[in-house]
Amino acid sequence: MIDMAKEMIVKAPSVDEAKAQIAAAFGVDESRVKFEVLQESQKKAFGLFGGADAEVRGVLSDDAPAQAAKAFLEDVLAGMGAGEVTVTVREQEDSCILVIDGEDLGFLIGRRGETLDALQYLAGLVANRVDNSYVRISVDIGNYREKREKTLISLATRISKQVARTGRKMSLEPMNPYERRIIHTAVQEVEGVISFSVGSDAARHVVIGPSEDNPAAKNRSRRRRNGRGRDNAEGAELNTGAENERPRRERRRSDDPIVAPNRPVRQFVPRSNPLPMVDGATPPQKTDSETERSATLYGRIDL
């Protein structure tokens, strides 16, 4: 057996068996391979002498990957109940577009093209197994790809202008690598913004943020470094104005002398035995008791 990139020679007991082996090795249907019979099979004379196997050369056509992807899509669409549909192959330099035409094919697109992307992924796997070379396969329905691209470009431009004006970054919904590439390309056309992807797997999405030379972002950073935003600064100005309108209370300095208030001081008059005795003698002065001398809470109380 001779195995080349797009050619194979196989020997088998019959021509049909050789063709089947070549198609199986290429991973395509026999209709996708060009066969050349190099030698017919020969039977042994009297069942004992001579005889030879059939020798067949199989050449894989240039459009075999696309044709294999087309055959796969036709089988899948028939299994999904798509009805009467046609799959057209559009060859390009390093890619191939499979266009599906029919009626009521919206269910094949799915939410934001998720079903269409799944069909495209599977068709690409089938096409790239043909001759072990990479061929980019794209599947389109009703010119959906072009419409989706225009929508993404419009979205990226609008969000980029908003970010450039406010200086605040914004996140978009999760997208596949092809759609994220469209977003990045559109963002590059707007000054003052940059884009980058974050997340992993199905949650990976694009974030559009201000660039280093964005004026709005510089102003926000300056206010953040000052410790107060615009609203707090305005509130501080209002408070300052209110304080200016109120009369300020004069504060005494620590080195100023303390001046006692100018008011009369009432002298203490003891009330113990205020009245004279019966004989007119002066009552004796009451002496402090031990309890009175030891009183500390409210001072001495004269009775």
Model confidence at 104, in pLDDT bands (50, 70, 90)?
Answer: confident
The whole-number pLDDT of residue 277 equals 58
- Is residue 21 within 8 A of residue 56, CB to CB? The reply is no
Give CA–CA dist 139/70, Å, rounded: 10
DSSP codes, 135-189: -EEEEEETTHHHHHHHHHHHHHHHHHHHHHHH---EEEEE--HHHHHHHHHHHTT
pTM surpassing 0.75? no
Radius of gyration of the chain (CA): 49
Q: How many alpha carbons lie under 13 Å from residue 124 in its C-beta half-sphere?
A: 15
Give CA–CA dist 154/186, Å, rounded: 8
Tell the CATH superfamily of the 146-216 domain.
R3H-like domain (3.30.1370.50)
Domain positions in the chain are 2-60, 64-142, 146-216
Structurally, at CATH architecture level, domain 64-142 sits in: 2-Layer Sandwich (3.30)
Give CA–CA dist 131/209, Å, rounded: 44
Residue whose pair of structure tokens reads 């200086």 in the numeric block: 167
Model confidence at 167, in pLDDT bands (50, 70, 90)?
Answer: confident
The whole-number pLDDT of residue 48 equals 59
| 14-43: pLDDT as tens digits | 888 988 888 888 777 777 777 888 888 877
The whole-number pLDDT of residue 194 equals 92
Closest CA to 7 of 91, 134, 131: 131
Q: Which strands sit side by side in the sheet containing 170-174, from one edge to the other?
A: 170-174, 205-210, 193-198
- Is residue 119 within 8 A of residue 72, CB to CB? The reply is no
Model confidence at 298, in pLDDT bands (50, 70, 90)?
Answer: very low
**Does residue 191 register a pLDDT over 80?**
yes
Burial class of 152 by CB neighbour count within 10 A (0 to 12, 13 to 18, 19+)? buried
